[in-house]
Amino acid sequence: QVQLQESGPGLVKPSETLSLTCTVSGGSITYYHWNWIRQSPGKELEWIGNIYYSGSTDYNPSLRSRVTISLDASKSQFSLKVTSVTTADSAVYYCARCILGTSRIFDSWGQGKSVTVSS
């Protein structure tokens, strides 16, 4: 059974870049879409974007200008960068896999990584 684990700093300063990595184990990274989703306190889940194993990406239009998702298949990892962060980017960040053959339905999730933006 595939497992996903987020890692990275839990505290980021305003205006800096948030960087997280998701490590995939127990399954192949090939042929799937891999996603980042976040949830700020008291708010709904927000899809950030995804990357296909081939490297093609898709992003939430509201975040596209600040977000980059990349993938390292040799390490079974994919990563998220969010630039110019503000307190509004404080959230629990989840990585998730899509159902094989889809790019929009999330069938496996990590436990989440809490990130606080504060000076």
Q: Does 10 bind other proteins (CB under 8 A)?
A: no
> How far apart are CB 102 and other proteins at their closest, in Å?
8
Which amino acid is located at 78 in the chain? Answer: F
Q: Does 106 bind other proteins (CB under 8 A)?
A: yes
Q: Does 44 bind other proteins (CB under 8 A)?
A: yes
What is the per-residue binding string for other proteins in 62-81, x denoting contact by CB under 8 A?
x-------------------
CA distance 16 to 64: 17
Where in the chain does DSSP place strands (E)? 3-7, 11-12, 18-25, 33-39, 45-52, 57-59, 67-72, 77-82, 91-98, 106-109, 113-117
Binding site for other proteins (CB under 8 A): 4, 43-47, 49, 58-62, 94, 96, 99, 103-112
